[in-house]
Amino acid sequence: MIVVLLFLMATNGKATNIVWHKSSVGKLHRQELLQQKGCVIWITGLSGSGKSTLACALCQALYSRGKLTYILDGDNVRHGLNRDLSFKAEDRAENIRRIGEVAKLFADAGLICIASVISPYRRDRDACRTLLPEGDFIEVFMDVPLQICESRDPKGLYKLARAGKIKGFTGIDDPYEPPLNCELVLPQKGNNYASPCEMAETVISFLEEKGFLQA
């Protein structure tokens, strides 16, 4: 008797002959253990808009509530995982793709992943959204005008861009495409801006409303 074994090998990108191995412990089990639901909070906006400050305030506020989070900060990720990438258009897209894939893994682990990245192009942010189940990608737009961000200039990058020492800088000689249908917009509050803690509470209220802070 001749037994013919047929192996169905997957092809994904440049990788071939790979098979997905499923674990008996899945996302629902991990969420039950953590008493929260995994998701990605994607904070986008111009440099100097307060993304990282909000991410840290949100992380601290959720920690105080006993919720497990992890921050993927744009600059921090470029110190390791994405250290091989430049700021050319194709590398920027790859930078966001990688962050999106890592954020997806954190969410699958049951964590509330906070991604704080400029991510200037809608197509790249939308591509990250499609990686997760519907509703698990929460886009937060820091709607702070360019002139305000430039006046803050915490890293001195706008000054360098205006002097021509940095090319392709978002908001100066490269575009930023604001979200069209994001979950949250954190705009100016009258003539003053809401504090990071106030903005964090706005995000937490959204998470509570959508049931992410319980299993």
- The answer to whether position 36 is within a domain reads yes
From the list 54, 51, 73, the residue with the least C-alpha distance to 62 is 54
pLDDT tens-digit profile, the chain (215 residues): 333 333 444 556 777 888 888 899 999 999 999 999 999 999 999 999 999 999 999 999 999 999 999 999 999 999 999 999 999 889 999 999 999 999 999 999 999 999 999 999 999 999 999 999 999 999 999 999 999 999 999 999 999 999 999 999 999 999 999 999 999 999 867 667 899 999 999 999 999 999 999 99
Asked whether residue 214 is domain-assigned, the answer is: no
Closest CA to 74 of 123, 130, 114, 128: 114
Domain that holds residue 44: 29-209
Q: pLDDT of 155-168, one tens digit each?
A: 999 999 999 999 99
Distance between CA atoms of 139 and 125, rounded to whole angstroms?
9
The answer to the question of residue 4 being in a domain is: no
| Structural domains in the chain (count) | 1
Query: Residues with catalytic annotation?
Result: 119
Question: What pLDDT does 11 receive?
Answer: 55
Residue 55 included in any domain = yes
Q: Tell me the sheet residues that pair with 72.
A: 115
Coil, strand or helix at 211 = coil
Residue 101 neighbours by CB under 8 Å, 6+ apart: 131
pTM greater than 0.75 (yes/no): yes
Read off the CATH number of the domain in which 147 is found: 3.40.50.300
- Evaluate whether residue 5 is within a structural domain: no
